[in-house]
Structure 1
């Protein structure tokens, strides 16, 4: 009787191991994937975390927050490449004003990326060196990872703003206000309501032209 129970238990374990989470046999799930008929499983993070990340990606961090985080995370002395590289003076001095301005803007964005990597590097180093059984240690790790996510998200927002601003020379001067960072970057680079803002500009121009006639 014991031998039969063990065999049955073994079969059950094998069946479970060969099934996906939704009880579909693994080989069938794999075939569905190869055939291109499988659907991607949803993955959700905690709602508050998702809201926070989306807010930073859309609006960026405040200058005060950025300055505090920059001071908080310093480059490890034995990781010298974890830094924003300056342009070679031999090249920079011959560059146009436009190129210099562009490089300066990209350096500011890259600094947020580097600081984010510093935060993640520090957290990973802590995980590698010491146990995280204590609540205090785990809290500090979570804080570092959270800071890293915030800085990297802010860097992405900065890149969005740089891309938006790069269109400034390719549109009519009266529409330059569309290229500012006063509107969140959601849905599309210039925001979801760009048509409404274009209409507002057109209306302002129409009123201005009408006023000048009198």
Structure 2
């Protein structure tokens, strides 16, 4: 086991090293700070990869002198932007018409709902992209509607970089300051993620119940 992997294992469950943490450690050992950027770029494209593990680990790695703290923040932010750009392009390629057609086929979802969602995004697009970069679950997905609605690319990249810089700085610095206890960050971030998921589930349930009641009360 490498020196970095050994240090990481001392502060958290060594078994974790066989999962995302082990993969991230390998990338950072092999590619240095570029490995941290690559890990975060992939995390943006594949949300199941948790930034709450990768970013504190990058901060811890910086605390070991493998690379600098500012480097870690700058490169992981660059990785975030690259990953978000991939999903933006996916949304742009799918396009508004196909997205409307797909959403319109979802049970209980009407095109009027899609129109309202589009209108809401049009009014709050900049805030949604900037703030969305700091919300678990949505931080990756927000890039897709931005692409579908063809938000100006320069604006999208600027807002994505700004929001990502805030999120990444918090988690990288936490890992840097906590040292071998960097894994504590993941525990608290996990609670926040479950809160967001619970809110989303509650909103979806409220929407479905409302639609079913409306159908039941509407004249046949």
Scaled by the length of structure 1, the TM-score of the pair is 0.28
The structure with more radius of gyration: 1
Larger helix share, 1 or 2: 2
User: Which structure has more RCO (C-alpha within 8 Å, separation ≥ 6)?
Assistant: 2
Scaled by the length of structure 2, the TM-score of the pair is 0.27
